[in-house]
Copies of this chain bind each other. A is one copy, B any other.
Amino acid sequence: MTDGVVERSRPRDRILETARDMFHKHGIKGVGVDAITEAAGTNKMTLYRHFESKDELIVECLRANAAKAGAMWDAFEAEFPGDKLAQVHAWVRKAAAMLNADGRGCDMANAAAELTEPDHPARLVIKELKEAQRARLVTLCRDAGIGQAELLADTLSLLFEGARVSVQTVGTEGPSTQFVRMAEGLIVSFRGTAAG
């Protein structure tokens, strides 16, 4: 039996997990590879044996985040099998929970704010992962029988995205406190219109 998932896992996994946590808390440019490897209980050489550069490590961290987000969608389906409308409401609750979880916003959005080079490898994966998220929410809304599913999904997306940066700038007592009310009101409103 392994005594601690983080401590006794392979160095590559520890590095990835530690980097994800530190990038999230302190920003990408705010963390050096030395700090990551030390926190992961390893060293710089081992990092560069598994990742060819810091940029590649960043990309892998973002992909790992996306994988966790994908698991979230699967959890909705598992909790409310077939009931797409319930899953939409579950998404709202999950989003609200994230807002109060910590004062840091979305890792993808934060990375996009930091990595300004237009051809940075991370920008590509950020874009495609955000588009995948959007597609899943659109599909969910559509399958829930809501008219104008794209518009509702986009509105909910922007509200959530905005709430995350609002938490980061003014804290949890700002406009983001109204997020659930806004989202639920919108869903009701859109369900009132034509339902395909």
Bits for A85-119, please: 1 = Cβ < 8 Å to B, else 0.
00000000000000000001110111011101000
- How far is A181 from B157 in the complex, measured between Cα atoms in Å? 15
Which chain A residues numbered 142 to 157 have a C-beta less than 8 Å away from chain B?
151, 153-155, 157
Q: Please indicate the chain B residues that have their CB under 8 angstroms from the CB of A30 in the complex.
A: 29, 114, 116
Which chain A residues numbered 135 to 172 have a C-beta less than 8 Å away from chain B?
151, 153-155, 157-166, 168-171
Closest to A104 in B: B116
B130/A169 in contact, CB under 8 A: yes
Number of A residues near B (Cβ < 8 Å) is: 46
B166/A165 in contact, CB under 8 A: no
- Oligomeric state, in copies: 2
Main secondary structure of the interface of A (DSSP, over half): helix
A175/B159 in contact, CB under 8 A: no
Q: Check if A37 is an interface residue, CB within 8 A of chain B.
A: no
28 cross-chain CB contacts under 8 A: A25-B116, A26-B116, A27-B29, A29-B29, A29-B114, A106-B165, A109-B168, A112-B165, A112-B168, A113-B113, A113-B168, A114-B114, A126-B169, A127-B169, A127-B170, A130-B170, A134-B174, A151-B181, A154-B178, A157-B166, A158-B158, A158-B159, A158-B179, A158-B182, A159-B159, A159-B162, A160-B162, A165-B165
